[in-house]
Amino acid sequence: MSLAASSSGSVKNQQPTPTPAPQPRSGLRGRVGLWKEKVTTRHGWLGDYDYAWLCMPTLPFSSSHKKKVSNAPPFYALEQDLPILLAISSGLQHSLAMLAGLITPPIIFASALNLDSALSAYMISASLIGCGILSLVQMSRIKLFRGYRLGTGLISVVGTSFATLSTANSSKLTALAKIFDTMYVNGTCPTNADGSRGACPDAYGLLLGTSIICSFLEIGMSFVPPRILKRIFPPMVTGTVILMIGASLIGSSGMLNWGGGSGTCASLPTTGIFVDCPSTLAPRPLPWGSAEFIGLGFLSFVSIILTELFGSPFMKNISIIIGLAVGCIVAGAAGYIDGSSITTAPAITFLWVHTFKIRVYPPAILPMLAVYISLAMEAIGDITASAEVSRVEVDGEDFDSRIQGGVLSDGLGGFLSALFTVTPLSIFAQNNGVIAITRCANRAAGRWCCAFLILFGVLGKISGVFLAIPNPVLGGVTTFLFASVTVSGIRVLSYISFTRRDRFILAAALSFGIGDLLVPGIFTHLFDRVKSPSGGLAGLFDSITIVLSTPFLISGIVAVILNQIIPVEVLEAEPEEEDVEEGVEVHHAEKDRKM
């Protein structure tokens, strides 16, 4: 049963349907009159929505819990007339639901490159503003030539991709050869006298420049018929990629920050300013893995669980933000928060207040091409989920048009986001849960979401607040966030039949992916014995090493290749699970008769 169907089965015959949309009026005067009527009437502002249900806390063990579910408000379809207040509240929920996912990548990027607080705060603001603008493009459905379109026409909001984060950055605790690590090893980025990494904003510019040229791959993929893309990237491939992205981020970022930080202090040095986390200059430094740090992260993690148990539907949609807020309140009272990032952040900011030198880093081209392929795979799955929960067609020409427009907008977004000083973007799947809970799939809510994101980005002090979040609090929350990415991959894998062929391909792909994850340095020294390679050959070696050392890239490549070359078995040698169970029951019945 689809998510949309399961969430609406008990309310279909009990709730009044929303008031039909007013008949459209022709001309500018007619549209102005329609809006005037909407903003000056109670129905235009409130409609028939049950706002009390949206804000009512949940008592999960009470007998009235099922009754509250059955009294859920009516479903507002894609083109249905939407009350202004509901559009604003739904848009706010969408923006808050994706906020933690938007601020995490720039914080981790800035930390990996040791950027100062002013530049780090700007990267957060740019991420919020860029995602707001490009989400508007993704939600549009602009007609192009020969029937092609730009955008999905659904509430398909976009955010900074975790795939780029997994490829560009790695744990400094390991010897993983990722893009930023390679830049420090080969001298592109400076290293301090004590062996710690120096500030390297140019590395971020190299990543952005490489992203620009690689974005044309996904733009070109959007013009390939969706049926061919689905054949090349079936759920077995996409699920494996998403699973490995989430799993690698849990280890390389989430848990390390939970322990106190993913920087140099995580390697437990015995001398220098990083003997404590985040450094000895922090308000209350402690060694990595201290009980105080673990407790702060655990408090944030438990807050998410308690919100899911007892929170109202609105609170459940923003449980990640609640976890951050609770952790920050306790951390602030205990003296762990450094407020300098808030005081130094500007009151108002916008894109291009800070800029980076846009250049291309050749060793990063192959990994970034693979990232854009994974973004296209992710977009296909997320658009399908968005269409399902929005109660529109999930097959046929109209659906294929949404897939094409969404992938094109995703690729174009990668190009534009780099110009906005933001790393590549991808569609955020968690917002489908907001649609399911609020029962509002109208794009007006999505436009309000974009407005809130842009507002959050323009107000520079908000970015300063996010930057002041202690590492353990951020780690406790992002561990849950990255684990939800892993679960999304498992959910995609559940669509396959798990035939003998499927299990074989999956085992081969995960052999490389999980092996890479558990023994991260295995491919780092692959070309060490090659003597005096030329500059071009050294760049190729770096590129191959990055691909082989990134779990989701190597596992995805193996899955794609094996899926194309291993023939499909017409008749499976192994019986289905139901047949096995039936055979066992028959065997026991015959045994009982003989006895």
Pairing relationship of beta strands 158-160 and 425-427 according to DSSP bridges: antiparallel
Average pLDDT, the chain: 83
- Would you say 199 and 462 are in contact if contact means Cβ atoms under 8 Å apart? no
- Average pLDDT, stretch 497-509? 94
What is the structure's pLDDT at 573?
A: 46
What pLDDT band is residue 174 in, cutting at 50, 70 and 90? very low
- Would you say 453 and 183 are in contact if contact means Cβ atoms under 8 Å apart? no
What is the structure's pLDDT at 62?
A: 66
Kindly tell me if the per-residue pLDDT of 64 is higher than 60.
no
- Average pLDDT, stretch 211-226? 94
Distance CA 221, CA 409 (A): 11
| Residue-wise pLDDT tens digits, 188-205 | 899 888 777 889 999 999
Distance CA 204, CA 457 (A): 20
Which long-range CB contacts under 8 A does 502-505 form with residues at least 24 apart?
502/236, 504/562, 504/566, 505/236, 505/559, 505/562, 505/563, 505/566
- Would you say 271 and 282 are in contact if contact means Cβ atoms under 8 Å apart? no
Residue type, 65: H
Distance CA 417, CA 424 (A): 6
- Considering only CA atoms, which of 485, 360, 427, 406 is closest in space to residue 218? 406
The better pLDDT of the pair 176, 270 is held by 270
The better pLDDT of the pair 538, 361 is held by 361
Q: Which of 302-311, 517-526, 545-554, 581-590 has the lowest mean pLDDT?
A: 581-590
What is the structure's pLDDT at 485?
A: 83
Domain segments of the chain as ranges = 25-56, 84-503, 504-594
The packing angle between helices 460-467 and 84-112, to 10°, is 50
Q: Which of 89-98, 203-212, 428-437 has the lowest mean pLDDT?
A: 428-437
- Average pLDDT, stretch 73-97? 84
- Left if phi > 0, otherwise alpha if psi is -120 to 50, otherwise beta: which for 15? beta
Distance CA 530, CA 542 (A): 12
Q: Which of 265-274, 282-291, 582-591 has the lowest mean pLDDT?
A: 582-591
Residue type, 520: P
Kindly tell me if the per-residue pLDDT of 394 is higher than 60.
yes
What is the structure's pLDDT at 26?
A: 53
| Residue-wise pLDDT tens digits, 2-41 | 333 333 333 333 434 444 444 455 566 766 777 777 788 8
Distance CA 310, CA 479 (A): 21
Kindly tell me if the per-residue pLDDT of 509 is higher than 60.
yes
- Considering only CA atoms, which of 399, 372, 411 is closest in space to residue 154? 399
Helices (H) and strands (E) in the chain, counts: 27, 4
List of residues 6+ apart from 324 with CB closer than 8 A: 100, 300, 469, 473, 474, 477
What is the structure's pLDDT at 20?
A: 47
Distance CA 316, CA 404 (A): 32
What is the structure's pLDDT at 595?
A: 52
Q: Which of 376-380, 417-421, 515-519 has the lowest mean pLDDT?
A: 376-380
What is the structure's pLDDT at 96?
A: 87
Distance CA 375, CA 367 (A): 12
Distance CA 427, CA 386 (A): 10
What is the structure's pLDDT at 580?
A: 45
What is the structure's pLDDT at 89?
A: 87
